[in-house]
Structure 1
Amino acid sequence: MTKDMTKGSPIRLMLYFALPLLMGNLLQQTYNMMDAAIVGRFLGAQALASVGSTSSVQFLVLGFCMGMCNGFAVPVARYFGAGDYGRMRQCITHALVLTAGAAVILTASCAILCPQILRILSITDDIYADAYWYLLIIFLGMPFTLLYNLLSCILRAVGDSRTPFVFLAFSAALNIGLDLLCVLVFSWGCAGAAIATITSQAISGILCLVFIFHKFRQLVPTKDDRKLERSTFSMMLGMGVPMGLQFSITAIGSMVMQSANNGLGSVYVSGFTAAARIKQFAMSPFDAIATSVSVFCSQNAGARQGARIRKGFVQGLCIGVLYGICAGIVLILLGRTLSMLFVSADSVEVLDASAKYLRYMGYFFWCLGFLNVARMCTQGLGFSGRAVFSGVTEMIARIFVSFVFVGTYGYTAICCADQTAWIMACLYIVPMCIYCIRKVCRDMGKENDPEEAAV
Structure 2
Amino acid sequence: MAKIDRKELILNGNMYKAITIISLPLMVNNFIQTLYNLADAIWVSKLGSVQFAATSFVWPVIFLFISLGIGISVAGASILSQLIGASEHDEANKYASQLIILSLIFSLFFALIGYGLSPHIIKLMGGTGDLAIYSNIYLKICFLGFPFVFFFYNFDSIMTAQGNTLIPTILSAISTLMNVILDPIFIFHFGMGVAGAAIATVISQALLALAGLIVLRKYSPIIQLSLKGFKFKKTMIKKILEVGLPASVGQSGAALGFIVLNSFIASYGTATLAAFAMVNRITSLIMQPPMGIGAGLTSIVGQNMGANQMDRVEEAFKKAVKLTLALSLVGAVLILWKDMETINIFMSSERDVEVINQGLSYLRQVAITIPLMGLFSIFQGLFQGSGHTKYSMAMEVGRLWFIRIPMIQIFKYSTNLGPEGIWIAMSSSNFLICVYGYMVYRSNKWQRRIIKAGH
Q: Scaled by the length of structure 2, what TM-score is found?
A: 0.84
- Counterpart residue number, 2:168: 164
Q: Secondary structure at the match of 1:323?
A: helix
Q: Name which of structure 1's ranges 262-271 and 183-192 shifts more when overlaid on structure 2.
A: 262-271
Contact 1:71–1:244 (Cα < 8 Å) also in 2? no
Q: Secondary structure at the match of 1:159?
A: coil
Q: Name which of structure 1's ranges 227-236 and 389-398 shifts more when overlaid on structure 2.
A: 389-398
Instruction: Give, as a single letter, the amino acid of the residue that structure 1 aligns with 2:312.
Output: R
Shift of 1:215: 1.5
Contact 1:39–1:48 (Cα < 8 Å) also in 2? yes
- Aligned mates of 1:423, 1:30 — CA distance in 2: 30
Output aligned runs, 1:300-311, within 5 Å: 300-311=304-315
- Aligned mates of 1:327, 1:37 — CA distance in 2: 27
Shift of 1:191: 4.0
Q: Secondary structure at the match of 2:287?
A: helix
Q: Name which of structure 1's ranges 363-372 and 183-192 shifts more when overlaid on structure 2.
A: 183-192
Instruction: Give, as a single letter, the amino acid of the residue that structure 2 aligns with 1:399.
Output: I
Contact 1:70–1:243 (Cα < 8 Å) also in 2? yes
Output aligned runs, 1:318-357, within 5 Å: 318-330=322-334, 333=339, 334-339=341-346, 348=352, 352=356, 355=359
Contact 2:301–2:386 (Cα < 8 Å) also in 1? yes
Q: Deviations over 1:201-231 (max 9, x none)?
A: 2211111111221222542245788443111
Q: 1:365 to 1:29 in 2, by over 3 A?
A: same
- Counterpart residue number, 1:391: 396
Shift of 1:164: 0.6
- Aligned mates of 2:168, 2:306 — CA distance in 1: 23
Shift of 1:175: 1.5
- Counterpart residue number, 2:40: 35
1:89 to 76, 93, 109: 93
- Aligned mates of 1:131, 1:60 — CA distance in 2: 16
The answer to whether structure 1 residue 422 and structure 2 residue 426 are counterparts is no
Mark the runs of 5 or more structure 2 residues left unpaired by the alignment: none
- Counterpart residue number, 1:400: 406
Q: Scaled by the length of structure 1, what TM-score is found?
A: 0.84
Give aligned pairs, total.
439
- Aligned mates of 1:350, 1:50 — CA distance in 2: 27
Q: Secondary structure at the match of 2:393?
A: helix
The answer to whether structure 1 residue 19 and structure 2 residue 38 are counterparts is no
- Aligned mates of 1:427, 1:163 — CA distance in 2: 36
- Aligned mates of 1:111, 1:353 — CA distance in 2: 43
- Aligned mates of 1:376, 1:197 — CA distance in 2: 29
Instruction: Give, as a single letter, the amino acid of the residue that structure 1 aligns with 2:444.
Output: C
The answer to whether structure 1 residue 144 and structure 2 residue 166 are counterparts is no
Shift of 1:413: 5.5
1:253 to 254, 257, 264: 257
Q: CA RMSD in A?
A: 3.4
Shift of 1:90: 0.8
Q: 1:434 to 1:36 in 2, by over 3 A?
A: farther
Q: Name which of structure 1's ranges 361-370 and 155-164 shifts more when overlaid on structure 2.
A: 361-370
Q: Secondary structure at the match of 2:444?
A: helix
- Counterpart residue number, 2:110: 106
- Counterpart residue number, 1:369: 374
Q: Name which of structure 1's ranges 14-23 and 395-404 shifts more when overlaid on structure 2.
A: 395-404
Q: 1:45 to 1:424 in 2, by over 3 A?
A: farther
Shift of 1:319: 1.5
Q: Percent identity?
A: 22
Q: Deviations over 1:120-146 (max 9, x none)?
A: 655576744444433343333222111
Contact 1:144–1:202 (Cα < 8 Å) also in 2? yes
Mark the runs of 5 or more structure 1 residues left unpaired by the alignment: 445-455
Q: Secondary structure at the match of 1:216?
A: coil
Contact 2:97–2:227 (Cα < 8 Å) also in 1? no
1:435 to 420, 438, 443: 443
Q: Secondary structure at the match of 2:163?
A: coil
Q: 1:367 to 1:131 in 2, by over 3 A?
A: farther
- Counterpart residue number, 1:450: none
Instruction: Give, as a single letter, the amino acid of the residue that structure 1 aligns with 2:310.
Output: G
Shift of 1:112: 3.9
Q: Secondary structure at the match of 2:11?
A: coil
Instruction: Give, as a single letter, the amino acid of the residue that structure 1 aligns with 2:160.
Output: R
